[in-house]
Structure 1
Amino acid sequence: MTDAYDPSAEGAQMEFDGRMSYGDYLDLEHILSAQKTWTDTHDEMLFIIQHQTSELWMKLAIHEIAAARRSLAAGETRPAFKMLARVARIFEQLNSAWDVLRTMTPSDYTAFRDALGQSSGFQSYQYRQIEFMLGNRNKAMLRPHEHRAGIVQMLEDELAQPSLYDVALRLLNGSIPLPDAVLNRDLSRPWKPDQAVADAWTQVYRNPRKYWELYELAEKLVDFEDYFRRWRFNHVTTVERVIGFKRGTGGTGGVSYLKRMLEVELFPELWHLRTDL
């Protein structure tokens, strides 16, 4: 029988008194102690971890979208393309999380649902920030956060600056002039489809060699929204599978509210132009 393998024999560091360890670097003590359950039910841990990890992925998505927006505003398209591709893959991860949550049955969820009180994913301020960053802006959605002045200020600051799509349109304007009403619109309001924008993007798609960077930008935006739509759809089907058509804990219509969100288009012109090409 051979001796047990000792990694230190090949130089592995085994002593960490006064040294940076894996747990120290990741602050695992705080992260792994954040799963506070409110009941003694088995599936509540799954529910909490799924939502906490989703919030961590959303934090990274915000980091990447903000950087992509800055890069596009500076005309640095190549780094922005990499960041947007990463955001799409982040939402692929978020999509996979629903597969795990769907292993929870209606009976499993009902056992601890009352412990949620009025809390709901509807109140996720990071999700709201992502929607605002992408252009789906609705000031009414500030109200669930009125008890947290710092969060409201952060979201209002976001409403005061161009969305990712607004920045993309300014880049488009550099090659194909857009109307002043598009370039100088009220940034705090949601984007509404514009025919001049649709015509400009159609021109890009009809001559991709001439407008290659704009063409690639458009496809990166579509790729991201594709994953984002799948995330919303998986959210709907998961909720319907677990609670049916009950009203949500936060007071929304539950599935009916989520289905309305499926109709929201972030970059409408980029989807509609495909019919006319």
Structure 2
Amino acid sequence: MSLTYTNYLKINELLELQQLKSDPPEHDETLFIIIHQTYELWFKQILHEFGKLRKNLEDGNTWASLKTLRRVLTILKTMVSQIDILETMTPLEFNSFRKFLGQSSGFQSLQFREMEIICGLRFPLMKEAHKDQPQHIKVLEQRMEESTLWESFCAFLRSHGYDIHPERDNEKGLVHEPSEEIQDILVEAMKNDPEAALIAELFVDYDEGLQEWRYRHVKMVERTIGTKQGTGGSDGAKYLHKTLNNPIFPDLWAIRSKF
């Protein structure tokens, strides 16, 4: 069989993946499934780009790092904008099939946890949602052994002559706590190294974009289910509120007041 658009992209298989649980079928469940499947595809692409980005940074390759970061930022903006589509579904429409979702929850997204880990986040709940899936726990633990984005950025700075060595010292939040010593080095780099400054600002863009994603996500949950408990047993919007306004690169935010 010759290669065609349909068999190359597995279109037939793809279109069979939206399998509704509601009985009788509820119209808006199709949208709900497609949106979340699309998110998982974007998570996969971001993880793919993170692998390249870390290597680019550790190799001291400025322009490849910039290009990869810009792609990740564009994907993140697309993810945020998809919430607009999901918000066309009213609370009544969502609740027409919510009871059929059982214990499934976005809280259980393995790939999003992988993204958080690479960003430097560590907290016990990361494994809790996957405690009955040892293969998922293995993936998370393997990710925790990999370099974080911050460690890769610091490797980039070392390739530019800066003596910067972040330490891992926290398993209850960010593994890289803010450091006055590192902030002084960052101020010097921002003032004297245009390439390092460009990458640092894109890291801030990513951090801000991730916070925007979290904010839009929590507001979407609030307008859809209010203060109800999440389907997977999480605290729903209450839990999501705790994730707001927590930067993953706090040193890059702290130096704003040092210029």
Query: Structure 1 length as normaliser, TM-score?
Result: 0.87
Q: Distance in 2 between matches of 1:271 and 1:223?
A: 11
Deviations for 1:112-158, whole angstroms, at most 9, x for unmatched residues? Answer: 11111111111100000000011112244112223322222121111
Instruction: Provide the residue aligned with 1:19 in structure 2.
Output: 2
Q: Does 1:258 align with 2:240?
A: yes
Q: Does 1:226 align with 2:208?
A: yes
Q: Does 1:66 align with 2:48?
A: no
- Alpha-carbon contact 1:125-1:151 (below 8 Å) kept: yes
Give the drift of 1:167: 1.3
Q: Does 1:92 align with 2:77?
A: yes
- Alpha-carbon contact 1:35-1:48 (below 8 Å) kept: yes
Q: Does 1:243 align with 2:225?
A: yes
- Alpha-carbon contact 1:123-1:144 (below 8 Å) kept: yes
Range moving further from structure 2, 118-127 or 195-204:
195-204
- Alpha-carbon contact 1:132-1:159 (below 8 Å) kept: yes
Q: How many residues align?
A: 254
Deviations for 1:200-241, whole angstroms, at most 9, x for unmatched residues? Answer: 112222x2xx31221111011111122211111110111111
| 2:203 aligned partner, one-letter code | L
| 1:69 aligned partner, one-letter code | R
- Alpha-carbon contact 2:73-2:209 (below 8 Å) kept: yes
- The structure with the largest alpha-carbon Rg is 1
Instruction: Provide the residue aligned with 1:9 in structure 2.
Output: none
- Alpha-carbon contact 1:91-1:227 (below 8 Å) kept: yes
- Alpha-carbon contact 2:90-2:224 (below 8 Å) kept: yes
- Alpha-carbon contact 1:163-1:187 (below 8 Å) kept: no
Percent identical:
36
Match of 2:137 among 152, 174, 189: 152
Q: Distance in 2 between matches of 1:256 and 1:276?
A: 34
| 1:36 aligned partner, one-letter code | Q
- Alpha-carbon contact 2:170-2:177 (below 8 Å) kept: no
Evaluate the alpha carbon distance shift between residue 89 and residue 134 of structure 1 in structure 2; reply closer, same or farther with a 3 A threshold: same
Q: Distance in 1 between matches of 2:170 and 2:152?
A: 11
Unaligned runs of 5+ in 1: 1-17
Q: Distance in 1 between matches of 2:45 and 2:235?
A: 29
Evaluate the alpha carbon distance shift between residue 140 and residue 254 of structure 1 in structure 2; reply closer, same or farther with a 3 A threshold: closer
Q: Does 1:34 align with 2:20?
A: no
Instruction: Provide the residue aligned with 1:115 in structure 2.
Output: 100
Partner-residue secondary structure (3-state), 1:69: helix
- Alpha-carbon contact 1:134-1:164 (below 8 Å) kept: yes
| 2:219 aligned partner, one-letter code | T
CA RMSD of aligned residues (A): 1.6
- Alpha-carbon contact 1:73-1:167 (below 8 Å) kept: yes
- Alpha-carbon contact 1:159-1:187 (below 8 Å) kept: no
Unaligned runs of 5+ in 2: none
- Alpha-carbon contact 1:161-1:187 (below 8 Å) kept: no
